[in-house]
Structure 1
Amino acid sequence: MTVRAGFKTLSLVLIGGFALAACDQPEERVDRAGQLGQAVIDQITGKDARPSDPRDALKRASVEGRAFAGKLQPTFLPTLPTTGERRFAIGSIVAKPRDLPPPVAMAEVMAAPEMAMEIVIDEEAESRIVILDEATMAEAEVSPEIIERIERPQALNRKRVTVIDPRVEAPPKAILEPGPNLPRAPLRDRLRRNPDGSSIDELQVKRVETQQERYDKLPQLKPQVAQRAITMRQDALERQLQAEDRMIETARKYGVAASIQRSRSGQMVIEIGADAMKPTQFTGEFSPRQLSAIEAEETVCDQGAIADGTASAIMAMDCVIEDLQASGEFEYVEKDYIFEHQMIRRPDTPVTPVAITPNDPLFSLQWHYQNQSDSPGGAGFVDFWTREAVQGAPEVVVAVIDTGLDYSHPDIKNSPNLVAGWDMVTDPDVGNDGDSRDGDATDPGDICPEKGRMENSWHGTHVAGTIGAGLTDNGQGVAGGAWNVKLVPVRALGKCGGRLSDINDAIRWAAGIIPEFDALGNEVWNDNPAHIINLSFGLFKTCPASMQDAINAVTAEGVTVVAAAGNNRIPTQFFAPASCQNVITVASGDARGYLAPYSNYGSAVDLIAPGGDLSRDDNGDGNPDGVLSTKLSENCLDPVSGSAVAQCYYSYEEGTSMAAPHVSAALALIKAKRPDQTRLELFDTLMAGLTPVAEVQCIGECINYPGAVPTEADENLCLRPCGAGLLNLAGVNLSED
């Protein structure tokens, strides 16, 4: 049972950041709301902001601001997933040491400078080391430039990349304390020679820093960032170094090169094999790495094949994972799985286009924002905007972890709602932008011939537009759910998907608890820590331990995480991140308020939100009942003239990817009106307004939905559990009684 959280009724109504007392005169309200759009001012003064004929708004808009893509499609059910379709990055492993001491909040250290002596301040917490195989070690003895090429720091956007000699033991504990010293000798130092031909001593004890010197190294953080930002304790670093020793020992056992990336979050990423010596960020000098493989039904570590050198890269990876798991030293060790966005990609089936001459502007085509009295599957945004007199607040921040953003989109390029994001895609082949992680969250496209996808999805732009990335009430295009919030785009998906390890880092960075690094190695924190994080992607797998770890870390800081249920018509317990704990799992509904035929279902689903169905036109407007939002598209239509348009900036799409951002936008609106509500209170408030669903809204033919339970009335019809009800902001009443 969902219980609505109690909250105090305030005597002031917050509108766009202005407090309006009940006794204010209309003229005074207009003065105070000067930063709001004209439509909101008209609403306050009692004027009707809508034109007498909705077609007038279409006629006034440019073709660029009104043309859209989307046509009715044949009924379509996605194929059921199998474990044989689950992909992972070859050679990449995600792990975390067991019993790792918890991180320390930067705010605590700033308040108690003496704590600086107990934490890791410099780049050592985020360091990457590379261990060579024997053949490359021999080559390096002759050509030391091999080491310099691998260690090139600007190529990895990290402060330090160090090739170490695995034959050298770690220095004694005393060497590590109290300053941030290298845990092992850089191989290039061992390869340099003194004039007499003797080796330079690789273990040089650095001078001890004073408390003030170490405190001065702390980054200068904004107060709201410092509250969430974390750093690592010295004992935690030592625990990571112990785990690192185990990884080095295991790599040597199987004769493979390895690259180990440490993070202050506790997550460690190990890449093994030849590509570990060729960091993925190098795009010119090294051949592209093999991107991914399909997970077999069963994997077996063949020690004989390892010994005689006939083992594949995948088998070597399986052996390393098996050994590390068996050591008992790790909380989790798992493959670096590849997640995909949850927008339905239909087969290319020719369909006769339907002539569209709607009577309403583009907003009137967005049935998903309408009240349920007008559109049964709508989410009641219109009622909330009007009754609560709030369309958002710039203090509320929503992060969209996705494919990035089309910053050139005409409804987005001048939007004040956007703040700085980050590109978290490590592998440039996946990133499709020629580089690795950096501060540019632009979506360069994600065409994926390997999976038969020959067009860019612009997925993140569509999702962000639904939340409110673009300009609303500007006489062009479409509206967003929350007109006046801050949106942080965090790019973690690229060509053919996104790595688990990148997504985990993206979740933490979006919440403002870990930094990223620029090309010079400087820490870059999210200066706008998210209150809400939207995850519109998925993988046919139960929640990976490392992903749950990342989600737990941010929800502990009060962040609300919203996840798409997935489009595989299976129970969500087999799908991530929908099956993770501490997320709001959102299934997809159509314009009738029925569970969409492609949507996942099950006990983990919290609610249904508008996700659309391109095969239906239940409102009879001549258009498919998809979700209309911002997206560069082709083969479009001008709704005024009825003529074809080659390219447009708005499109109907369907999927649980489209449902999740409606919930994120709704939570942002509630947070704008009730900024003091906690994560759990926000959830309770949202759930208290749901419209209950009848059994008929969540049934389907049993043959199409494995795991669903037959209904009592008809054994051929199965109930697909679809949560507590339909998203309905009209049922959320935060105003004074």
Structure 2
Amino acid sequence: MLRNLTSTTKRVALGAAMASLLVLAACDQQSTRIEHARDLADATLDQISGRAVVEPEGDATLLAASVVDRAIAGTLRNDMPVEVASEKSRFAVGSIIAKPKDIQPMMFDEEDALMMDEDELFEEVEPDIAVEESFAAAPGAAPPPPPVAAPSSPMAMEIEPARIMPRVKLDPSAPQESRDEIDKAYRDLERTARSEPSAKARTRSLEPRSMEAVPQERRLAAKKLARRSVISTDAIVRQRDANTVMLDTLSKYGMDGQVALSREGQMVIQIGSDGADPTQFSPEDASARPQNFLAVDSGAGCPDSTDLVTVQSNAALATECIVKDLRASGQFEYVEKDYIFENQFVRRPRPTDPGTTPGTTPTPGTDPATPPVTLTEITPNDPLWSLQWNFQNNGDGEGKSGGGASFQEFWTRQANEGSPDVVVAVVDTGLQMQHPDIKDSPNVASGWDMVSDPRMGNDGDGRDGDANDPGDLCDPSDPFAADSFHGTHVAGTIGAGASNNGTGVAGGAWNVKIVPVRALGKCGGRLSDINDAIRWAGGLIPGEDAMGNEIWNDNPADIINLSIGLFEFCPASLQDAINAVTERGVLVVAAAGNARVSTQYYAPGGCQNVISVAAGDARGQIAPYSNFGPEVDVLAPGGDLTRDDNGDGRPDGILSTKASTNCYDPVTGEGVENCFYAYEQGTSMAAPHVSAALALLKARSPEATGAELTATLLAALDAREPMQCAGSCALYPGTEPIPGSADMCARPCGGGLLNLANVPPLSTGGGGR
């Protein structure tokens, strides 16, 4: 890992990687791949025009379904010029993420929480003398407020929630007023801290069998409490001191701003008019063009010779300079720009990989000790199931696929299609709540909209409890731009839709609880929003309702899916958020990225403490667009829309839930104006397969730890042949040549191919405690 390199060294290394991509894209030979895409497009046009239909003796379930339950998006967008990954990342103008040094996280132990008495769960905490004296010493400080009476039962946290974390306005033209506001905000924060349960260590003897007698309701309450971040005195004092440094820095440049505080110490600073409180924007502001509030990261930073007038006239430069000064203060663990993440759809083809030949299917490694399936295979009655090669059993022959992940065999041999007690949070663009396969699905729980900036929210407001996806179209002038409804496609692969209901597609986990957390909107998603979305999904921090009250996630995630990406080394604040949830036992699954480079250059796929997932095609080979490298853990189905290796006349993408236009009926071939299912490709599609697989393993072994579930998953991967992760050495510099294969290099793509058929039944020692 390059975690300890300086930012300058990282930028140089990253720039070199990007430059090599541009050179490779310029010299790549694309004709074969684009011609193959044209053939697939022609085949789809044949279907739409009625020249190709499903034969009468074809799949009975598909033939019997209504058009609305089986129609598929017919637009193929692969016959286009090749696009490489964005040359430069972007950031939100005027928005900075920082965390003061030496803040230690506070948390509960779940078993200790189980042993608390009713009144202990919410016992009153005595005022901290050091904090009170610190506030009293501040100029003009008012006396501290009296302690707040503690709630009397665990349910009180939901009935009478505390106020949300405060925001502090910083105005250098009125320094004393600003300092008074800082002190007031932190007194309010201290008052909130007093009303919360204490995280002091408690140790009590507990007979092993007595744990079984603990009511389920109390177990769930203890689980929530153990996940919750507690406001510590340390965090209060250090954030207050950091605000003083921020005020001094803004004074240097004659700019105002405000700071949003955090339970865990991660603060978001909004500077100047461009970085002002997003909740204060008017509807007119929400229609602003993205270039007005997003900036391209040039990598130049803040030049030493920059004068004050230039900084004040350039909001993007002011952001760079304030980041530089705050870092130099020595007050902070990290200070970074609020980068913009994008979804990991592959909307256009990447350069041809000469090492792949359409129609070839290498045989992945198999375990001869695994007995053949003798049970009657569980087959969902969803009409489009026959087109979902990704869930089918791995292998050759009818109903199988060389790239299939064998979900069908797991459902059959393990007698398990999931459990509603397992929670998967999807941090993405939200969910199309009115999708016909989703709106009545029992698998969808209440989520949260964490998009703070209405200009990116596209729904007229900021954060709230509505995780519906209104669309994320960024630039209407782009002829290829469209709403992606990315989160709906990702969540559908995991199991947001109702599977085995005679409608549309099946998901990987039929019975699962999906919590949609919207963090990406118009033009992408802010790093600060994604950090908060991860923490909210894990049950660590609350959201805020219209009245300013804290709203906690009632369904803390067991697994968080991040099918998002940023072409940067893992930001420190993102790693902090990931660490915060994984320390509480949450599993984080991340897309490796779609830029054909080492995953170390991408976040979150290159972050630590994530399960990083590369994308494979229907043959079980790494897709040409997929990132690779030692950071990758698993190769899972991600699709390749330019191939048809199973010969069904349709592209080998991942078929899932998503509202679309320009569709067709796969039975009659007739055109359909609107539909609710579409093929997509990308590491975004690969990651949810792993999330769904982990959800199945968790359902099978509810008491298993995250480490145990991960070990079971990785132990069951199919060993790969070298050519399954091969590519032209010229296209993938720095990879290892394959002996005996001219000009071909191996791209590290994880420990193996996802194959749930290799998971042994529990009776033979497979997973769990």
Report TM bin, short chain: 0.7 to 0.9
1:64 aligns with 2:68: yes
Give the equivalent residue in structure 2 for 1:365: 387
1:102 aligns with 2:124: no
Summarize the alignment of residues 312-461 of structure 1 with structure 2, pairs less than 5 Å apart: 312-346=314-348, 361-373=383-395, 374-449=400-475, 452=478, 453-461=480-488
Size of the aligned set, in residue pairs, is 615
Is the CA contact 1:611–1:659 (under 8 Å) kept in the aligned structure 2? Answer: yes
Distance in 2 (CA, whole Å) between partners of 1:415 and 1:310 is 52
Is the CA contact 1:66–1:476 (under 8 Å) kept in the aligned structure 2? Answer: yes
Give the equivalent residue in structure 1 for 2:607: 580
Aligned amino acid, residue 634 of structure 1:
T
Give the CA deviation at 1:370. 0.6
Partner of 2:511: helix, strand, or coil?
coil
Partner of 1:609: helix, strand, or coil?
strand
Give the equivalent residue in structure 2 for 1:40: none
Give the equivalent residue in structure 2 for 1:251: 250
Instruction: Name which of 114, 127, 132 aligns with 2:166.
Output: 127
Aligned amino acid, residue 102 of structure 2:
D
After superposition, what is the alpha-carbon deviation per residue over 1:256-282, rounded to whole angstroms, capped at 9, x for unaligned?
111111111211011112234564542
In structure 2, the CA distance between the partners of 1:641 and 1:124, relative to structure 1 (3 Å rule), is: closer
The TM-score normalised by the length of structure 1 is: 0.78
Partner of 1:471: helix, strand, or coil?
coil
Partner of 1:368: helix, strand, or coil?
helix
Give the equivalent residue in structure 2 for 1:149: none
Instruction: Name which of 102, 111, 115 aligns with 2:125.
Output: 115
Summarize the alignment of residues 224-235 of structure 1 with structure 2, pairs less than 5 Å apart: 224-235=223-234
1:514 aligns with 2:517: no
Give the CA deviation at 1:717. 1.9
Partner of 2:614: helix, strand, or coil?
strand
Give the CA deviation at 1:215. 7.1
Distance in 2 (CA, whole Å) between partners of 1:215 and 1:666 is 35
Partner of 2:762: helix, strand, or coil?
coil
| Percent of residue pairs identical | 54
Is the CA contact 1:588–1:611 (under 8 Å) kept in the aligned structure 2? Answer: yes
Distance in 1 (CA, whole Å) between partners of 2:236 and 2:243 is 10
Aligned amino acid, residue 716 of structure 1:
D
Partner of 1:113: helix, strand, or coil?
coil
After superposition, what is the alpha-carbon deviation per residue over 1:578-603, rounded to whole angstroms, capped at 9, x for unaligned?
01100000000000000000000001
Is the CA contact 1:116–1:215 (under 8 Å) kept in the aligned structure 2? Answer: no
Give the equivalent residue in structure 2 for 1:693: 720
Distance in 2 (CA, whole Å) between partners of 1:451 and 1:70 is 23
Distance in 2 (CA, whole Å) between partners of 1:360 and 1:622 is 20
Give the equivalent residue in structure 2 for 1:628: 655
After superposition, what is the alpha-carbon deviation per residue over 1:311-347, rounded to whole angstroms, capped at 9, x for unaligned?
5112211111111101111000000000000011128
Give the equivalent residue in structure 1 for 2:17: none
The TM-score normalised by the length of structure 2 is: 0.75
Give the CA deviation at 1:299. 2.2
- Point out where structure 2 has 5 or more consecutive residues left out of the alignment: 1-55, 132-146, 149-160, 199-217, 351-380, 765-769
- More moved, 257-266 vs 571-580: 257-266
Distance in 1 (CA, whole Å) between partners of 2:225 and 2:193 is 23
Distance in 2 (CA, whole Å) between partners of 1:736 and 1:407 is 40
Instruction: Name which of 167, 170, 181 aligns with 2:187.
Output: 181
Give the CA deviation at 1:722. 0.6
Distance in 2 (CA, whole Å) between partners of 1:381 and 1:719 is 28
- Point out where structure 1 has 5 or more consecutive residues left out of the alignment: 1-51, 135-164, 184-205, 349-358
In structure 2, the CA distance between the partners of 1:451 and 1:90, relative to structure 1 (3 Å rule), is: farther
Distance in 1 (CA, whole Å) between partners of 2:81 and 2:744 is 16
Give the equivalent residue in structure 2 for 1:9: none
Distance in 1 (CA, whole Å) between partners of 2:569 and 2:277 is 32
In structure 2, the CA distance between the partners of 1:74 and 1:244, relative to structure 1 (3 Å rule), is: closer
Give the equivalent residue in structure 1 for 2:520: 493
After superposition, what is the alpha-carbon deviation per residue over 1:56-113, rounded to whole angstroms, capped at 9, x for unaligned?
212221100011124767588954335x420000111000000013234495894472
Give the CA deviation at 1:235. 2.8
Partner of 1:521: helix, strand, or coil?
coil
Give the CA deviation at 1:672. 0.2
Give the CA deviation at 1:225. 1.6
After superposition, what is the alpha-carbon deviation per residue over 1:505-554, rounded to whole angstroms, capped at 9, x for unaligned?
00000000111110001110000000000000000011000000000000
Distance in 2 (CA, whole Å) between partners of 1:86 and 1:261 is 24
Distance in 2 (CA, whole Å) between partners of 1:641 and 1:713 is 48
Distance in 2 (CA, whole Å) between partners of 1:464 and 1:308 is 46
Distance in 2 (CA, whole Å) between partners of 1:657 and 1:493 is 14
Is the CA contact 2:495–2:510 (under 8 Å) kept in the aligned structure 1? Answer: yes
Aligned amino acid, residue 526 of structure 1:
N
Is the CA contact 1:125–1:262 (under 8 Å) kept in the aligned structure 2? Answer: no
After superposition, what is the alpha-carbon deviation per residue over 1:116-159, rounded to whole angstroms, capped at 9, x for unaligned?
6459989687111122354xxxxxxxxxxxxxxxxxxxxxxxxx
Is the CA contact 2:163–2:550 (under 8 Å) kept in the aligned structure 1? Answer: no
In structure 2, the CA distance between the partners of 1:360 and 1:98, relative to structure 1 (3 Å rule), is: closer
Aligned amino acid, residue 473 of structure 2:
I
Is the CA contact 1:342–1:538 (under 8 Å) kept in the aligned structure 2? Answer: yes
Partner of 1:271: helix, strand, or coil?
strand
Distance in 1 (CA, whole Å) between partners of 2:424 and 2:345 is 20
In structure 2, the CA distance between the partners of 1:86 and 1:450, relative to structure 1 (3 Å rule), is: farther
Give the equivalent residue in structure 1 for 2:270: 271
Aligned amino acid, residue 616 of structure 2:
G
Distance in 1 (CA, whole Å) between partners of 2:275 and 2:646 is 55
Is the CA contact 2:123–2:196 (under 8 Å) kept in the aligned structure 1? Answer: no
After superposition, what is the alpha-carbon deviation per residue over 1:190-211, rounded to whole angstroms, capped at 9, x for unaligned?
xxxxxxxxxxxxxxxx9x9998
Partner of 2:412: helix, strand, or coil?
helix
Aligned amino acid, residue 241 of structure 2:
Q
After superposition, what is the alpha-carbon deviation per residue over 1:20-41, rounded to whole angstroms, capped at 9, x for unaligned?
xxxxxxxxxxxxxxxxxxxxxx
Distance in 2 (CA, whole Å) between partners of 1:169 and 1:371 is 63
1:85 aligns with 2:88: yes
Query: Alignment RMSD, CA only?
Result: 3.0
Give the equivalent residue in structure 2 for 1:473: 500
